[in-house]
Structure 1
Amino acid sequence: MRILKANWYPPENPELFEMFGSKADFDIDPTPADPAYRLDRARSAAADAVINCSATLLLPAELDDFEKVKIVVREGVGYDNLDLEGWGARGVPVCNVPDYGTTEVADHALALMLALTRGTETYDRLLNADPEHGWNFARAPLVRRLRGATFGVVGLGRIGLAAARRAAAFDMRVVFFDPHLSNGVELATGYERVHSLKELMAISDILSVHAPLSAETNGFLDAAAFAAAKPGLILINTARGPIVDLDALLAALKDGRVAGAGLDVLPKEPADRSHPLIAAWAAREPWIDGRLALSPHAAFYSPASMKDMQRKAVECILAFLNEGRLTNCVNREFLVTPAKVRKAS
């Protein structure tokens, strides 16, 4: 069995090859420096399964070049960079790894919230620049009491639920919006439920985004959403960058409707200094200073989560090809019906 890992990026996990080396041959294709790069057809044609390691890059070959591929796995949670319908038309299931970094992302969402609401990033930077005159507790602009504040969650899936539990441990009121969950989830969790983003925006002191990127959620937090926000809202996004309209966020930060934002993801990555919000943050313009915290799409990361992610992607492939057991399939609605897929479903 030949597994092609496309758009691979370090750090390498030698344990992966030790664990599965007797069950599969790995062909490693690293992240290309040239966006126009295309995979050699001999390599794509030899693959029985493909893992796309990148959260943003497309597979570096045409679907028709993968003649033998029986399953495609996105090594991570998001799968918006894979052609679900195209693979489904060929009878090829596309799967993801939804459970490798749940706790890391939830922790990171709360860390961004705390960096702003407890001022830790601002205090550290000011003291580093001037240990004597930076010794001032009043210099961080967004410090506030979290107990009793409302933590709004967009998308109460695995990560959203984990973030909600952490917020509840801070004695925050948790409210969520997720139209895809059945009735009664609010009873099982003990969290309050609203039925529109507008309702959630109007009551949230902190809004944490944990929805997948789709046609429905692209630009979901736009000018209309921010216009409905409770004054002083702090936005946290550890999901996907395009869910938040960066131009609308800039306007909402400038007019004060949104007090601050902690962003692990951006519509364009790496951070694009040509966007006026990123430029103002990089220049530490006074109006944005201490109100925006960025991290480099790192919420998922820990050494342990990276190993879990890589291992679980291979386990998904082996379960399907060796046992006919299909797990975490994200393109069932597009799959044609070869017998093996029907049986595995």
Structure 2
Amino acid sequence: MSRIVVTGRVPEPALQKLRAEHEVDAWEGSDSISRQELLRRVAGADAIVSLLTERIDPELLDAAGPQLKVVANVAVGYDNIDVPACTERGVVATNTPGVLIDATADIALGLILMATRRLGEGERLIRSGQAWKWGMFFLLGSSLQGKTLGIVGMGGIGQATARRAKAFGMEIVYQSRSEIDPAIAAELGARRVELDELLTISDVVSLHCPYGPATHHLIGAEQLSLMKDSAYLVNTARGPIVDEAALALALREGQIAGAGLDVFEQEPKVHPWLLELENVTLVPHLGSATVETRTAMAVLAADNTLAVLKGEQPPTPIS
């Protein structure tokens, strides 16, 4: 039997799969595991099932030892993993794409609706106990029909978000490293453009690109200045894709109309200006937060782990 370290709490079906074949050391604390404790526990591990809150770097890989075969990340993003360091040590790194597409696209559309229709402001107003009454100009928002959604990163989640937006009558443009399947482009009526054009013409910009050096602060002061003053920015990808200070300033000065954020540059910290603003909707990284999705993610990570330990190709290796 191999020894598997699970760095945080995951749904029980995944643990059952792992325990049926191997020894499992799973962190059960309500808080994230400390770095010191993590380094201690991984010593001698054959596999690590990691959450995005844990940094998988050379220090941790060396603490585990040369027998380590696989790091299975319970997330589609893997900016917490030093993939070249894994490759250098012969460790297979995997992630969990596909299973969280619909859940994240649902959150993206939810944030679009909350931002454009000012739902967060309305909810806060009622909960505050302030007096209010219906009026023709009370909390006016913006409709989606006939508006343009610009999608940055047209992978599975971007395409699923586009389908939802199309059902609301939106036009779709996108920026991506490559053209999408022509049949899908035709289905969505989606047109590929460069980022600057997308920012200039879109009424809503939704971010779905992976995070890495090339996309760090992809959206900063210069890019925000290209957007319409009536436009909205939505981020369900990774926080550091957006320069949060620049976004806070743009929102504060009315340079753009609003924003919806599920992720933040220095999670769980949020830029203090954002907390003071009414024209931004803030939710705590809930993109994949359904029972079904989180279970599917954990089970896929378990399948990846078991496959590598058997000497087989994992279902979803990080290429």
TM-score by length of 2: 0.90
Q: How far off is 1:137 after superposition? A: 6.3
What secondary structure, in the 3-state scheme, does the structure 1 residue paired with 2:38 have?
coil
Alignment of 1:23-102 (within 5 A): 23-29=21-27, 36-39=35-38, 41=40, 43-53=41-51, 55-59=52-56, 62-67=60-65, 68-102=67-101
User: Secondary structure at the residue paired with 1:73?
Assistant: strand
Question: What is the Cα deviation at residue 245 of structure 1?
Answer: 0.5
Q: Give the one of 14, 17, 20 matched to 1:16.
A: 14
1-structure distance, mates of 2:310, 2:113? 46
Distance (whole Å) between structure 2 residues aligned to residue 294 and residue 137 of structure 1: 27
Note the residue ranges of structure 2 that are not aligned, 5 or more in a row: none
Deviation (angstroms), 1:217: 0.4
2:310 alignment counterpart: 322
Farther off after superposition, 259-268 or 299-308:
299-308
Of the structure 1 ranges 98-107 and 19-28, higher mean CA displacement relative to structure 2 is found in: 19-28
Q: Partners in 1 of 2:112 and 2:180 — Cα distance?
A: 28
Where does residue 105 of structure 1 map in the other structure? 104
Deviations, residues 221-275 of structure 1 (Å, cap 9, x unaligned): 0111111112311000010000001121122223322100000111011133xx3
Corresponding position: 1:230 with 2:228: yes
Q: CA RMSD, aligned part only?
A: 2.4
Q: How many residues align?
A: 315
Sequence identity (%): 33
Cα deviation 1:275-304 (Å, max 9, x = unaligned): 34234x2xxxxxx32x11000011110111
Counterpart code for 1:208: S
Indicate the larger mover: 146-155 or 225-234: 225-234
Match of 1:172 in 2: 170
For residue 111 of structure 2, what is the amino acid of its counterpart? L
* In structure 2, C-alpha distance between the alignment counterparts of 1:189 and 1:56, rounded to whole Å: 37
Asked if the contact 1:176–1:191 (Cα under 8 Å) also holds between the matched residues in 2, the reply is: no
Select which of 270, 277, 284 maps to 2:273.
277
TM-score (normalised: structure 1): 0.83
CA shift in 2, pair 1:84/1:110, >3 Å: same
1:144 match: 142
Contact 1:320 1:326 in 2 (8 A): yes
Task: Tell me if the contact between 1:16 and 1:310 (Cα under 8 Å) persists in the aligned partners.
Answer: yes
Q: Distance in 2 between matches of 1:294 and 1:58?
A: 25
1:297 is the counterpart of 2:285: yes
- Structure 2 CA distance for partners of 1:34 and 1:182, relative to 1, 3 Å: closer
Question: Matched residues in 2 for 1:36 and 1:318: separation?
Answer: 25
Alignment partners' CA distance in 2, 1:93 and 1:203: 42
Shift of 1:69: 1.1
* Cα offset, 1:189, TM superposition: 4.2
Alignment of 1:235-254 (within 5 A): 235-254=233-252
Distance 2:53 2:281 in 1: 22
Contact 2:108–2:235 (CA<8 Å) still a contact in 1? yes
Q: Which residue in 2 is equivalent to 1:215?
A: 213
1:187 positional shift: 4.0
Q: Aligned partners of 1:76, 1:150: CA distance in 2, in Å?
A: 30
Alpha-carbon offset, residue 210 of structure 1: 0.4
Superposition deviation, residue 45 in structure 1: 3.1
